[in-house]
Amino acid sequence: MIISPEIAFWNDAIQQPAERRHGPAPEHLVAALRASHAGLAFATAAGFDEDVDRALASLPPAVLARLHTSWLGAYVVEGLEREALTDLVLTPDGEFLGIATLLDAGELADVTANGWASARASAAFPASPSLVEVRVEEAGADTRANALRLVLLHEAGKALAAGRRFIPDWWAGEAQGEYSFLPLSWRVDEAGGIVPADDALRRAGADPAATYEAIEGTAWLTPFGAQSPLDDFAEAFALYAHIVLSDRPYAVRAFDGAAPVDYAPRWDAPRLAGKLALLKRFVPDVAREADPQVAAAALPFAPLVGTAPLMRRAFNKVDMAPVAQALLARAESDQLDANAYLDFAITLQLTGDRDVAMDVQAEAVRIRPHYTLPARQGEMLRLLVIMGLGDLMANTPIEFLLEESDVTLEMLYVTADAPWPDVVPEHDVMMVCMGENDANQPLLARLSEWIAGWPRPVINGPDRIAVLSRDGACNALSGIDGVEMPQTVRLARARVAALAAAPETLTDVLPDGVFPLIVRPLGSHAGHDLDKIDTPAGLAAYLERVPADSFYLSRFVDYRGANGLFGKYRVVLVEGVPYLAHFASSEHWMVHYLNAGMGESAAKRALEAEAMAQFDATFAARHRAALAEIDRRIGLQYVGMDCAETPDGRLLVFEVDNAMIVHAMDDEATYPYKKPAMRKIFTAFRRMLENARTRR
């Protein structure tokens, strides 16, 4: 083990991309190692680190991604008296900092790829070192850089074996519990020792040709790998990366007194199926994946995919299963891969497994509450987004609003059981995107305290978001001239049952209440368990089929238009200016865009196209005063509203919410008019951020 007090150096190192973590060993590292390697010295070999740079840059992306979290880099020395050393780096107090690799420039000064591979293979036959030749590169690529590439792949295998229960950790000394890679070629004997599971190589003796013939009947890839479980894993990892991921050769010729024996490990052979399956899961072959989203999802510790691309895939009815499987494999392979957990939670929601999705999301936030989505167009503004746990309708759809913009999103999840972080990401503007619900009310109150006096501009104060419950919004908008928002009350189940039994008491709790009533459970969205109840008997029947504890009740307003259709507008207010996000028409009173038949009806789309084209001059003009007063009372720079018009021309408000889905995913061929309308919203939203920044 390497004991080092230079925590800042190692922290800086691991912030670099894995392929850039290399260089001459610093003085403190050489000093730390001299106790066990007295002859250690600084490297002097010309051009050696440049070859290390070339070697690292050529490693498969999945290998570099897998090294990202714990590998501290490759550092060049001389006098190590071995080609390479990979070991743990600990503080003097025993805190684990990572795993570092040392390369001896003296030992490796004159190597070539084929020469190094031949020497490595011959090491398994010390009595006959000249009887094995290995070709791993063609003549033009038989360089020192490619030799170092193989060295680094083997050392990477050792580093990545640590702590993952593939094999016993090299510092542990004995097997403890179960391992995934070990039983493929090894077993634990009665004395607790680790011995080969197959004695075929022992029977072959020291004859290289006989050994390579015998190895075809085992699960080892090479005789060198059969020396120990650590060598076995490192050899398998390196050759998987070299042959499968990189399409490079590995051909052995072993000699004896008779004809030579040729050997090349075939990864598709049944004998290697167990190792191949494990390694494919651990380091996926993303280069051959034709689906770019699956490739991005499979790459270990890859950047966050995010809600918008995944929802767009589901919206376009592209199979989500390959993405889900890739993300699940990543999460299972490394329980610190928070991006995999969060993307997997999104995928589970999109495939209908909400309860499991919420558990996975909570685990992602426990691992790491902060996630970054870089700007697509070159960063010009950094937005700190305060998010809460919940489904796809629990937060402002910030990714859709800024999907192709120059804004980097720093998404910070806050929870009721965690304190406000001591350090938050650098940002120009903060926006609270957490939506209102009963579970979030205490958190919104705490958030108001946490960010009071915040030194950066804040968009959408949590105290104003807290007003947006259905009954809260109703109270806030009460009495606005030209606005109809039926009074809404929340009632416990027993009280609703009492109303069903004694309907004459309805006006005691709902002064304007008459049947039909609109009833829904608290916290429901998108029409889930929403119903129009025409009679007290219908209310009793509703309670029998909906097991919720509490409900919202309000009076039903018939808003059918002269054309016989119910029309619902989704309007967003950006700095008080109204924009139309969609207009859906339906024969049914409960209008949701996805089930209103918009895609099937050219006539309905024509109505929406006209509504969008004429919105400023018609709807927005008719309700200008009402919308301005709604904006003043709600007090949010960005908010959405589902609404309609009554036959007598009033603005009928169904819901006010900062987390309504607003997107531009619709097919342009079918909805050619929508993209320009959505672009207006996105432009206004980006302008709002810039205005906030300049006002600070």
Write the pLDDT tens digit of every residue in 580-637.
999 999 999 989 888 899 999 999 999 999 999 999 999 999 999 999 999 999 999 9
At residue 4, φ and ψ (nearest 5 deg) are -140, 130
Domain count, the chain: 5
Taking each helix axis from N to C terminus, what angle separates 113-122 and 144-161, rounded to the nearest 10 degrees? 50
Per-residue tokens: 694: 């300049």
105 within a domain of the structure (yes/no): yes
The 3-class secondary structure across 22-44, one letter per residue, is: EEECCHHHHHHHCCCCCCCEECC
Residues 258 and 149 in one domain: yes
Q: Does residue 527 carry a pLDDT above 70?
A: no
Q: How confident is the model at residue 534 (pLDDT cuts 50, 70, 90)?
A: very high
Per DSSP, helices labelled H in 526-673 are 536-545, 602-613, 619-622, 624-634
Task: Name residue 401's beta-bridge partners.
Answer: none
- Note whether 580 and 549 are same-domain residues: no
Task: Examine the domain organization and report whether 9 and 145 are in the same domain.
Answer: no
Q: What is the CATH number of the domain that holds 506?
A: 3.30.1490.20
pLDDT higher than threshold 80 for residue 394: yes
**Does the residue 162 lie in any domain?**
yes
What is the predicted pLDDT for the residue at 439? Answer: 86
> Do 222 and 271 fall within a single domain?
yes
Shared domain check, 180 and 251: yes
Select from 257, 283, 309 the last residue of a domain. 283
CA distances from 493 to 500, 532, 552, 556 (A): 11, 17, 10, 20
The per-residue pLDDT of the chain, averaged, comes to: 93
Strands (E), 331-461: 370-373, 381-387, 407-413, 429-432, 458-459
* Range of the structural domain that residue 340 is part of: 292-368
**Any domain includes 405:** no
Query: Which of 2, 4, 9 has its CA nearest to residue 91?
Result: 4
- Is 251 in the same domain as 106? no
* Residues with Cβ within 8 Å of residue 640, at least 6 apart in sequence: 570, 571, 572, 573, 581, 656, 657, 658, 659, 660, 662
Helix locations, 408-492, DSSP H: 441-450, 462-465, 470-476
Q: Is residue 394 assigned to a domain? A: no
Does pLDDT of 512 surpass 90?
Answer: no
Q: Is residue 678 part of a domain?
A: yes
- Sheet containing 261-263: give its strands across: 132-135, 251-254, 261-263
More confidently predicted of 189 and 152: 152
Question: What is the mean pLDDT of the segment spanning 349-358?
Answer: 94
Within a domain: residue 333? Answer: yes
Same domain, 645 and 618: yes
Domain contains 165: yes
Q: Which two tokens stand for residue 269?
A: 């052979």
How far is it, in rounded angstroms, from Cα 253 to Cα 118?
10
Q: What is the CATH number of the domain that holds 656?
A: 3.30.470.20
Residue with tokens 């979030």: 440
Given 353, 368, 383, the domain boundary residue is 368
pLDDT grade, residue 695 (50/70/90)?
confident
Asked if residue 526 has pLDDT above 70, the reply is: no
86 in the same domain as 12: yes
Average pLDDT of 126-147? 90
Instruction: Report in angstroms the alpha-carbon separations of 253 from 136, 139, 223.
Output: 12, 17, 13
pLDDT of amino acid 696 = 64
Q: Does one domain contain both 257 and 304?
A: no
Could you tell me if 16 and 48 lie in one domain? yes
Residues 78-131: pLDDT tens digits?
A: 999 899 999 999 999 999 999 999 999 999 999 999 999 999 999 888 877 678
Omega cis (within 30) before 516: yes
400 part of a folded domain: no
366 confidence band (pLDDT: 50, 70, 90): very high
Q: What percent of the chain has pLDDT over 70?
A: 99
CB 136 within 8 A of CB 150: yes
220 and 310 co-located in one domain:
no
What residue has token string 């004859």?
207
Tell how far CA 672 is from the center of its chain.
Answer: 32
523 shares its domain with 596:
no
Q: Residue 156: helix, strand or coil by DSSP?
A: helix
- Two tokens at 77? 């020395």
> Contact at 8 Å (CB) between 18 and 64?
yes
Which of 283, 311, 342 corresponds to the end of one domain?
283
